[in-house]
Structure 1
Amino acid sequence: MRIRIFHLCLVFLVAVPGFAWAKDAQIKKIAVEITEEEIVVSFELENGFKRSITRDIQDGIEQDFYFYVVLNQKHRHWFYEEVAEKTIRYSVKYDTLKTGYTVRRFEGQDKVERVFDSQDAMRAFISQGQTIHLGPISLLKPDHRYQVWVKAQMKASHIPRDLERFLFFIPFLELDTPWAKSDSLYAPR
């Protein structure tokens, strides 16, 4: 009986593809800095570039990464109230002729464009180059507790046409991190 269980476990380990064991993408190292005038948030995206995403970029398919940053006020009971939010979009395209990565960052009306020679530099810019000015310090009320929540998403580039036609209301995501939450913060006195 034990040998059968051992064999079943062995078959399961061999039969399950390697990508099932891959680490999921997640937001880490959320840091909130309250300056004299504004609230500044920084964070890192870990394991955000799966093989399929990297392959699509290398094939010249433009990919859009979305980062959602939300400032929530914690009320005495169980719910949060959204105080401020920002959406940052990174658009990545690989130019096969110039062999370079063009990355455009959109934050509201602001647009920044950079070109990178290496994939590692492009990944670092998207994953670790997060410094977001969330809003003025006047958003924080004294004696209230706040938290910053951060999430990353990327829509799938290869969706079967039949599925897209019939399930147009369901988003197909290639990358979808859980909400990451900062430590509690308070308005300075």
Structure 2
Amino acid sequence: MIFRVLAILATCVFLWTSAGVAATGRISDILITRGNNELLVSARLTGGFTPEIKKEIINGVSKEFFYYLVIKRVMSNWLDAEKISGTIKYSIKYDILKKQYLVTRETGDLSEEQIFDSYDSMVAWVSGVDRISITPFNLLNKKLQYYVSIKAEMKAGELPFLLRYLFFFVPYSRFSTEWYDSVIFMLKDLK
């Protein structure tokens, strides 16, 4: 009897957590270009901001949004080799009194802060990777083929110290996309 109850409980927990991480978004329009001897990546996320996520942000739950970027070298008859990886982190907070969205983007050592008055303009900025530098050209071989893989993920941000312990049982919406790949390119072919 106890085993049966534990099995049902474990199944419910598994289904509850997997539904919260379900892939709802999709990454498209991946574009690789060059600029000032750097490899630049642009992409667009669609369908990542659900009504539940909007409601949580407006209610004051901070969100952390990540883009994971990996440059892979194409290797025939073998697994592709990961050469360089990077992360773009967006921290989203809503100021209930001012009715403004404060978004901080961190890319490596660079940090940029934007304030938005509307939800749609904030989503448009966070949903796009626009000419983000991944690596200088001198770290890649000009004669080899590469591609960029991108994945997006959203998590609930840190709650204040006491609230973290009071609301440990409250589930927050989060999502993660699949890995999406750019077209295969060589450095000499980039414009």
> TM-score normalised by the shorter chain: which range applies?
0.7 to 0.9
Provide structure 1 residue ranges, at least 5 long, that are not aligned to the other structure: 1-22, 165-171
Q: Distance in 2 between matches of 1:59 and 1:181?
A: 35
Q: Secondary structure at the match of 1:121?
A: helix
Q: TM-score, normalised by structure 1?
A: 0.77
Report deviation, 1:143: 2.8
Query: What is the rounded CA distance, in whole Å, between the counterparts of 1:175 and 1:162 in structure 2?
Result: 18
Letter in 2 for 1:130: D
Partner of 1:60: 60
Superposed, 1:1-189 pairs within 5 Å as 24-35=24-35, 37-156=37-156, 161=168, 174-188=174-188
What are the Cα deviations for residues 89-135 of structure 1, in whole angstroms up to 9, with x where unaligned?
00011101101000000111211111000001100010125321010
CA distance in 2 between partners of 1:131 and 1:31 (Å): 9
CA contact (8 A) 1:140 1:186 kept: no
Deviation at 1:66, TM superposition (A): 0.5
Q: Compared with structure 1, are the counterparts of its residues 103 and 178 closer, same or farther at alpha carbon in structure 2 (3 Å cutoff)?
A: same
Moved more, 66-75 or 134-143: 134-143
Higher RCO, Cα 8 Å, sep 6+? 2
Give the letter aligned to residue 25 of structure 1.
G
Can you give the 5+ residue segments of structure 2 that lack an aligned partner in the other structure? Answer: 1-22
Change beyond 3 A, Cα 1:94–1:87: same
Equivalent AA in structure 2 for residue 150 of structure 1:
I
What is the CA distance between 1:155 and its match in structure 2?
2.1
Deviating above 6 A after TM superposition, structure 1's stretches of 4 or more consecutive aligned residues are: 157-160
Segment of structure 1 superposing worse, 55-64 or 73-82: 73-82
Give per-residue Cα distances to partners, 1:24-54, cap 9 Å, x unaligned: 3011100000335110000001101011111
Q: Please tell me whether the aligned partners of residues 153 and 173 of structure 1 are also in contact (alpha carbons under 8 angstroms).
A: no
Residues 119 and 61 of structure 1, relative CA distance in 2, 3 Å threshold: same
- Taking a change above 3 Å as real, the CA distance of residues 129 and 36 of structure 1, as seen in their structure-2 partners, is closer
Partner SS for 2:138:
helix
The 1:115–1:84 alpha-carbon spacing in structure 2 relative to 1, beyond 3 Å, is same
TM-score between both structures, scaled by the size of structure 2: 0.76
Partners of 1:128 and 1:161 in 2: CA distance: 32
Q: Distance in 1 between matches of 2:173 and 2:187?
A: 36
CA RMSD of aligned residues (A): 2.8
Kept in 2: contact 1:69–1:151 (CA 8 A)? yes
Distance 1:163 1:50, change over 3 A: closer
